[in-house]
Chain A
Amino acid sequence: MNIAVCLKQVPGTTEVKIDPVKNTLIRQGIKNITNPFDTYALEEGVRLKERFGGRVTALSMGPPQAVEILREAITLGADDAVLLSDVAFAGADTWATSYTLGKAVRKLNNIDLVICGRQTIDGDTGQVGPELAEMLGVPFIAYVSKVEDIKTGLLRVQRMVEDGYETIEAHLPAVITVVKEINKPRLPSLRGQMKAKSAQIPTWTAQDIGVEKERAGLAGSATQVVKVFFPQRTHRAEMLKGEPSTQVEALVEKLREAKLV
């Protein structure tokens, strides 16, 4: 079974500190990491490979330094990796990103299953997975929390919904997005680290994967950011002070006044 896992390199923390006077970001060496949800996607891909046989290819669209997360993916069990990097890909919204990833998956050829994390911690849209499925013209299942079985090209999974979970079946090839509940990602292995060190990770450009430049990157993006701002939090709660008994008295009084109890 050939599995492709899509990974994105994101900032290591989304807890940005803002200088209250200048209203600008305080940057202190935030390192880049693999999008946490994508580590679950990779782990699932490697587990499925161990269970059913096959290969796992890690894929990322990003700037040249994103190759680090691909090397890390190899230490965690991916057989090989490809970086999609080209100035033409820059500034892409989810449509343009899915378009580019779709071209790359097609070039990888014979991919049975594409696994993505449910969303990124910087963009938070969760849109690339489903849009990629449309680009590839294959079935799509979101929020997968367990892969029950893959038999004769038929995938059976459990996926989470608001009030419980559903068991769904689809024919491969397919795209799925996974949630954290699906597994516990492994730690790197020494042999994986040795393999990653010597691994050749090719960079594919727009030309390599047949991307039309008007459809990729900023040029291919239907949406555009016009403004960015930091939410102002100036509100301060009314603090009820004193011993616990005093605090509780005051609170219950206020709740009664507000007719909340």
Chain B
Amino acid sequence: MKIRKLLALLAALALLFAACGSDTSDTDDAAEAASDADVEASMAEDEAMEDEAMQDEAMEDDESSASASEEAMEDETMEDDEPSASASEEAMEDEEEPMEDNAMEDGEGEATADAEAAGEVPTRIVSLSPTGTEMLFAVGAGDQVIAVDNFSYYPPEAPVVEDLSAFTPSVEAIAAFEPDLILTSSPVEGLDALGVEILQLNAAVDLDEVYAQIEQVGAVTGHIGEATEVVLNMQTDIAAVLDSLPEREVPLTYYHELDPTLFSVTSSTFVGYVYGLLGLENVADAADEDGSAFGYPQLNQEYLLTADPDIIFLADTLCCEQNATTLGEREGWELLTAVQTGNIVEMNDDIVSRWGPRLVEFIQVAGEAVSAIEAVPAG
């Protein structure tokens, strides 16, 4: 009797687990799920082959490991000698200061210099940074990319690997791709151990840094010419938007919504910085004056209703299906100036949260909304 109950319980738990599994894949397309399975299968095969190889090599292990470590020693000493000199030379040559922040991991950057000198470019790039992926494809290095993380779904041809997470990265999973260049947006513990060149693209703080990162991606992948062109086009397009803005005595105010619980950004974030370029004033700045929310405060509803911003930018159209209509349906919001004048801008969540080449689209969409509001002479 007891056993039967236990079995029933176990069955229920198994069902629950199955439900969990399907929850995650439900959100994906069937096609993606299929490709997922393929990858898993091929990875399993790889593992099996590795196992065999291991057995074969087991005999030779003693010698080879010794020689390998010797080689490693030699490599290190080599690196210590010359490259430090070349590194400082490189640093001298670089005019952009932000480059330093995104400089390659110690000892790896020199490898690139050598590779470039020898005319070698990485052909097995793994990107753990959605912004980095967009930059890679923009500079024409898309063909050299073999795997990108599960959020790098733009451009559509990017080889997304559903199980490759940039948030909880598995160094072994990354190693399985045998990459020769890895793009990240934050440090990954243990990634250095692979001995592969790593390019870390930290979240940009201003346009110069965006341009510097794109040029850096171009330089590392052997597409410096295209990268320069991408940057020039961006600069031209952004300047065109900024020049077209009407003069205003009193700046317009805005609210940038990250989700319906009123999480927002302040001017200290990159997104806030971009709106600042457009001459806008952020109503959320008051909510994080001490910086304790790191530029991402949750606004109080009463405050927002009294602050009554001129424009509302919705960056939760994809995540949370918000739009001008749903905004107007919120209790009390129908009285807001922005809702009454229709100055609600539905943004693409992804574009406004990345600092890649599509930044131009962000600035164009926001700029159009700003220009559409007539400049009222002061007084």
Q: Is chain B found bound to chain A in the same assembly?
A: no
